[in-house]
Amino acid sequence: MKKFIKASIFVICFFCLFNFIFLYLGIPKRPIYYFYKEPRNSQDVIYIGGSNAYVHFNPLVAYRNNGFITGMISSDTQPFPLVKYMIKEARKYQKPKLYIIDIANIHYISASEGSIRLATSHMRFSKNKLDALNNVLKYSKIPKKDYLSYYFDFLTYHSSWKYINKNVVDNSELYKGFLLADVNTKMVKQEKFIWNSKSIPLSEKSKSCLINLIYYLKNNLSSDEKVLFVIPPRFYETKLMGNLNDASKIITEHNFEIINFNTLDDYEANYTLEFYNKQHLNVLGATRFTKYFSEYISQKYDLPDHRGNKKYSSWEKEYHRYTENYKEIMGKDFILK
Amino acid sequence: MILTSLTFLLFCIITILIYFLVPKKLQWFVLLLSSIFFLFYNNLRVDTLIYVLLTLMTVYICALLIDKYSNTKKSKWILIGGIVIVLGQLSFLKYTNFLLVTINHIFHLVGKNFEFNFNTRNVPIGVSYYSLIMIGYMVDVYRGLCKSQKNPLKCALLMSYFPILNSGPFIRYPDMENKLYEKHKFNYDNLCRGLIRIFWGLFKILVISQRLAIFVDAVYGNYTTYYGFYIITATIFFTLQLYTNFSGSIDIIMGISKIMGIELPENFRSPFFSKTITELWRNWHITLGAWLKDYVFYPLMKSNIIQKIGTKTKKKFGKKISKKITLYISMLIMWTLIGVWHNGAYTFIIGSGILQFIYMVLEDLLTPIASKVNKKLGINPETFGYKLYQRLRTFLLFSFSMIFFRATSVANAIDIIKYMFVMNPWILLDHTSLYSIGLDVLDFQVMIYSIIVLFIIDYLKLKGNVIDKIFNQNLVTRWIIIYLLIFAVIIFGLYGPGYDSATFIYRQI
């Protein structure tokens, strides 16, 4: 019995050490990692999508402006087959009133290694993670012999000890899921983009993923949980634009709301000042976009105001850190209003 | 099924669990079933199954008959018959192509335009090991060292015990009879010791050997670009790669067996602390050396032919020289066989056979001269410096022979040796040169530090059992050492996507 207890303690210590070490030996942390850090049932909105989500929408701005709390579950080029599982994951920890689903990656079905890993690596180990991986790997061209390394990340990331640095240890570039780094503080003039409303049918796989997602939402979400699909402001290739028009049609047919930020009358991205590349708003553009969007959803979905609530003091602290670092990077104060 | 693969890990876990869950009298049967599964998983097909069964049936029946007709001439002929069948089969499976290549060469040399075609044959895993083990078993029965095994299934287990099919060690029936078939209780101490041994083996393979392989492959693959000290460094690294790879696999195998309560014979004893080539071979692949000594060398020395040669040379050259001649002839045959066993290729025959023989003969002839010179010059061979020189000399000579082991052909080996003698020692000081060959600075450092750890452990091994030493520490120190070992393997090991599972240089089919 004594030996059994000793062995059990040894194994427990091993797993604690293992978890601690592999917290830092891994792929760069993306917003989903910080999603788990928030208290249970504390978030009003869950925002799911690719880099457009966590580069365009600043939860701190939304909180400061309208008082609601947003959880970001996004990662670079998040493969579309994962969206359903991200919602499932969100529902395990939060009871949000609204899910915002960015569909700019609706065509991204056969995902690359990097995008799958960035999206799933920091998901907590559960049946849902296994299902998510099964689903996304099924569509990918990843060799089957490498599948195991997606379920057990350490098989790939054990060698990342070479890249350990301060930034990896405390990923200071993310602020409640919003990115503020050198890259998105640049201002690169873009050609004005004009939306074309011509529809191009989605591929079979994209359509099947979208329908599957819609049925999941219809069959599982309560009446208190709303869904809003978005097409973020940016440049799109003709085919993707056509696909998004087709997707919009399907979404509307199933009675879900969708906003296309490229066709609104009262919001238009500034292609001279607000982008750092064709697909992404810079921090100025993100602030204006967030202000507009948070105002809209706050009113439409009756979201609560947590400003001044001590329970959410971490948001005030993080906002303070954000403004300080913004000043350091941009050389001027962050102006919200 | 590679020893460092997750499949093998899973296979071992399942086997060990079943092994301890079934009634103890069935434990050996679980091992047999696992071994059969292992054989089939490693490409055993109907055609190769025939070879396995033929060996098993031959040995089983011969051993029974040898036992029955013990101390009669019949038993000797049965033994010879058994050996011929098993060796014939081994030669057919492993050396036919080598023979055909040789014949083709001869045809080519005499100007004939005829060539034998040869094709790759499906060979059962471990055939080089189990063939010799089974020959040893028949000889032991013949010599009366043990009784024949009446149960054919138990005989099959001796032949196919899965841990040793990959890289040995050679087992002997009289030593293993009780260990393999007796009942084993689960023992926590064995589990801990076994696991430490397994992780030490993984450390050697995944942390050291895999890194060395990257460097060695890059240099040997481009020896016209990487000449001189690059080749010298790569040759030294290859020797270390071979050692860590082979001894690492043995550590894993011994660890698995230990958990099941089955002690296997040691195959390595800190070979690079040997002062002579003879001593090195006493500590390197110990069980092969011992097998060949007992079943080839001594019988050969006592054989009629060698005795006759002895008598003839004694008349001509005197007793002392005659003794040397018979000894060297027996040694030459044995070392050629060692080379052939390693693989049917001239590179192996030269590298791990003939060259070793030459070293040993020179050692035998020069040692008395060296002693005299040392005496005259007042050199004390017991000093640390002199011992270090002897160890370095042995290591470098052994490494040199390994060029043939690593080369793709004898011509290739000679070419590499030619390119080796170019003076560019500055590449050892100019760090960027070494770091540009497959391994970056950090990987190179991890490799060097790990090799230092390896040598320290090997040195401690000379002083006693290292695992015993770990277990004599207090709990905290013990756990820290074990955690360091496990995490060194997990973090610094080269495995997972992007790395092919370690290929085992010594894996004999």
Where are the domains positioned within chain B?
Answer: 6-183, 187-264+422-509, 273-406
Q: Is residue A191 part of a domain?
A: yes
Q: How many domains does chain A have?
A: 1
Q: How far is A112 from chain B (nearest CA, A)?
A: 14
**Which member of B440, B475, B483 has the closest CB to residue A17?**
B483
pLDDT at B458: 96
Closest-CA residue to A260 (of A106, A119, A115, A108): A106
pLDDT at B345: 86
Phi, psi for A331 (deg, rounded to 5): 75, 15
User: Average pLDDT of chain A?
Assistant: 91
Interface of B with A (CB under 8 A): 6, 188, 440, 442-443, 475, 479, 482-483, 486-487, 490-498
Residue B228 has pLDDT above 50, yes or no: yes
pLDDT at A168: 60
Q: Is residue A2 part of a domain?
A: no
Q: How far is B44 from chain A (nearest CA, A)?
A: 22
Q: Where are the alpha helices (DSSP H) in B266-423?
A: 277-283, 286-292, 298-302, 304-317, 319-342, 346-349, 355-377, 384-406, 410-420
Residue B120 has pLDDT above 70, yes or no: no
Which chain A residue lies closest to B489 (C-alpha atoms)?
A: A158
User: How many residues are given for chain B?
Assistant: 509
Task: Give the C-alpha separation, A110 to B307, whole Å.
Answer: 75
pLDDT at A81: 96
* Residue B486 to residue A159, Cβ atoms within 8 A: no
- Reported as a pLDDT band with limits 50, 70 and 90, residue B98 is confident
* Residue B188 to residue A154, Cβ atoms within 8 A: no
ipTM of the complex: 0.79
Residue B266 has pLDDT above 50, yes or no: yes
**Residue A158: its chain B contacts at CB < 8 A?**
490-493, 495-496
Q: What is the mean pLDDT of residues A222-239?
A: 94
Q: What's chain A's Rg over C-alpha atoms?
A: 20
Task: Give the C-alpha separation, B208 to A141, whole Å.
Answer: 32
pLDDT at B457: 97
- Reported as a pLDDT band with limits 50, 70 and 90, residue B508 is very low
- The answer to whether A12 contacts chain B (CB < 8 Å) is no
Strands A98-102 and A226-231, by their bridges, are: parallel
**Residue B210: its chain A contacts at CB < 8 A?**
none
Cβ–Cβ pairs < 8 A, chains A and B: 41
* Residue B497 to residue A3, Cβ atoms within 8 A: no
Q: How many CB atoms lie within 10 A of CB B318?
A: 10
pLDDT at B506: 53
Q: What is the mean pLDDT of residues B410-431?
A: 89
Residue A240 has pLDDT above 90, yes or no: yes
CATH code for the domain in which residue A80 is found: 3.40.50.1110
Q: How far is B7 from chain A (nearest CA, A)?
A: 11
Q: How far is A156 from chain B (nearest CA, A)?
A: 6
Residue A271 has pLDDT above 80, yes or no: yes
**Which member of A13, A156, A162 has the closest CB to residue B497?**
A156
Q: What is the DSSP letter of B114?
A: -
In the three-class reduction of DSSP (H, G, I as helix; E, B as strand; rest coil), residue A259 is classed as strand
**Residue A156: its chain B contacts at CB < 8 A?**
496-498
Strand partners, A101: A48, A229
- The answer to whether A336 contacts chain B (CB < 8 Å) is no
Q: Sign of torsion, CA B314 B318 B319 B325?
A: negative
- Reported as a pLDDT band with limits 50, 70 and 90, residue A167 is low
Asked if residue B210 lies in contact with residue B493, where contact means CB atoms within 8 angstroms, the answer is yes
* Residue A17 to residue B494, Cβ atoms within 8 A: no
**Residue B443: its chain A contacts at CB < 8 A?**
162
Which chain A residue lies closest to B487 (C-alpha atoms)?
A: A18
Summarize pLDDT for B171-223 with one digit per residue, the tens: 999 999 889 999 999 999 999 999 999 999 999 999 999 999 999 999 999 99
Summarize pLDDT for B59-73 with one digit per residue, the tens: 999 999 999 998 888
Closest-CA residue to B347 (of B289, B402, B415): B402
pLDDT at B76: 93
Quote the tokens at residue B181: 């078939």
User: Average pLDDT of chain B?
Assistant: 91
Summarize pLDDT for B302-359 with one digit per residue, the tens: 999 999 999 999 888 888 899 999 999 999 999 999 998 888 788 999 999 999 999 9
Q: What is the mean pLDDT of residues B89-110?
A: 83
Summarize pLDDT for B436-491 with one digit per residue, the tens: 888 889 999 999 999 999 999 999 999 999 999 999 999 999 999 999 999 999 99
Which chain A residue lies closest to B490 (C-alpha atoms)?
A: A158
pLDDT at B509: 44
* Residue A3 to residue B188, Cβ atoms within 8 A: yes
pLDDT at A3: 84
Give me the percent of chain B exceeding a pLDDT of 90: 74
Give me the percent of chain B exceeding a pLDDT of 70: 97
Say what the alpha-carbon torsion angle A191, A197, A199, A202 is, to the nearest 10 degrees.
50
* Residue A161 to residue B491, Cβ atoms within 8 A: yes
Q: Which domain holds residue A97?
A: 26-330
- Reported as a pLDDT band with limits 50, 70 and 90, residue A62 is very high
Dihedral class, residue B228 (left if φ above 0, else alpha if ψ from -120 to 50, else beta): left
**Which member of A3, A21, A156 has the closest CB to residue B496?**
A156
Which chain B residue lies closest to A13 (C-alpha atoms)?
A: B483
* Residue B496 to residue A161, Cβ atoms within 8 A: no
Q: How far is B242 from chain A (nearest CA, A)?
A: 23
Dihedral class, residue B256 (left if φ above 0, else alpha if ψ from -120 to 50, else beta): alpha
* Residue B492 to residue A149, Cβ atoms within 8 A: no
pLDDT at B501: 47
* Residue B487 to residue A17, Cβ atoms within 8 A: yes
In the three-class reduction of DSSP (H, G, I as helix; E, B as strand; rest coil), residue A230 is classed as strand
Closest-CA residue to A188 (of A271, A108, A268): A271
Q: Is residue A126 part of a domain?
A: yes
- The answer to whether A3 contacts chain B (CB < 8 Å) is yes
Residue B504 has pLDDT above 60, yes or no: no
Q: DSSP labels for A176-202?
A: TTEE-SSGGG-----PPP-------PP
Residue B244 has pLDDT above 80, yes or no: yes
Residue B279 has pLDDT above 50, yes or no: yes
Summarize pLDDT for A207-220 with one digit per residue, the tens: 999 999 999 999 99
